[in-house]
Homo-oligomer: A and B are copies of this chain.
């Protein structure tokens, strides 16, 4: 079967900006002397002074002729960056490509403290040390295979039977993990709130921790969030956090992959999300659940946008976005 080249992406503009955050001032720290430039002189480095902290990074892809009135905003998960959406670790196009070819305007975010958003000194500004995820932990937490199936050498690793993640590219995937901090939820949400204020109405698609933030953003800022899709959300607002009387919240989608029962922490995470979804439904909010195995798509990891069937899964997301924003 021969494939014609797809039509080119036609974009009015590609740009980026930073939003949120503010100045933090430090004093009383010792001055260091270091060499930075190749063959350059030593110079004093004085850490006392002003820093920007709490900002996030956003890259915007704007269509020459958008087919949809509302842009899609992509929020990655914990210890990740917007690179999650751009390609798959085995080199196929990511969901960014899918959304651009569907002619959505797309905004790809790096959350506070991650990727191009930068991060702040600790213990002076951040109070805790960063956390770096091991490949060992990712193999288990991302439901690639059983915890005991991880080995340093790729040929010794054991993945789940029927795994859709491109297991041979797991190390390439791990190259895109970045450090993170526990307890920075409010700072992250503050920057997301600043973004939504700047953007006006949009569709938020969040993954994992970003899925939980997306659900929370829809609850806090329902005037800005026209629809919210949480892909494998690791958290959700508490069911009793819905306003009483309930306000009009946008349509919600929660999408889940496979192998949850083999990683019990995911059953607990999902139960929190399910409890919130039940509360939403009681409040007459539209909630669609896309349980991929129940719909005949088996073997998805925690990262369906990177799995071998990422196009098929992404198509379901697109269908939902088009259906619920056209309604």
Chain A residues with CB under 8 Å of chain B are: 5, 8-18, 21, 23, 25-26, 32, 34-41, 43, 45-52, 55, 57, 59, 61, 64, 78, 81-83, 86-87, 91, 93-94, 96-97, 100, 110, 115-116, 118-121, 131-132, 134-137, 152, 171-172, 174-179, 182, 185, 209, 212, 216, 234-238, 265, 268-269, 272
Contacts and interface: CB of A to CB of B under 8 A. Distances in A.
29 contacts: A8-B10, A8-B64, A10-B10, A11-B11, A14-B14, A14-B97, A15-B86, A15-B97, A16-B83, A18-B175, A21-B175, A35-B182, A37-B235, A38-B185, A38-B234, A40-B234, A40-B268, A41-B268, A46-B134, A47-B131, A47-B132, A49-B134, A50-B135, A50-B152, A57-B83, A82-B116, A116-B116, A116-B176, A116-B178
B40 A269 contact: yes
Contacts of A182: 34-36
B13 A10 contact: no
How many identical subunits does the complex contain? 2
Residue of A39, A94, A179 with most partner-chain B CB within 10 A: A39
A10 B9 contact: yes
Dominant SS among interface residues on chain A: mixed
Nearest to A265: B43
Nearest to A172: B18
A162 B216 CA distance: 47
A135 B23 contact: yes
List the 8 closest A-B pairs by CB distance, nearest first: A38-B235, A49-B134, A8-B64, A49-B136, A37-B235, A18-B175, A55-B175, A37-B234
A17 B84 CA distance: 10
Contacts of A91: 15, 17
Contact of A121 (B87, B132, B177): B132
Contacts of A23: 135, 152, 171
Contacts of A131: 32, 34, 45, 47
Nearest to A115: B116
Contacts of A39: 235-238, 272
A272 B36 CA distance: 13
Contacts of A272: 37-40
A83 B268 CA distance: 38
Contacts of A9: 9-14
A41 to B, nearest CB: 6
A57 B172 CA distance: 11
Given A52-B171, A116-B116, A121-B132, 11 more contacts: A10-B10, A14-B96, A15-B97, A18-B175, A34-B131, A38-B212, A38-B235, A39-B238, A40-B234, A50-B152, A81-B115
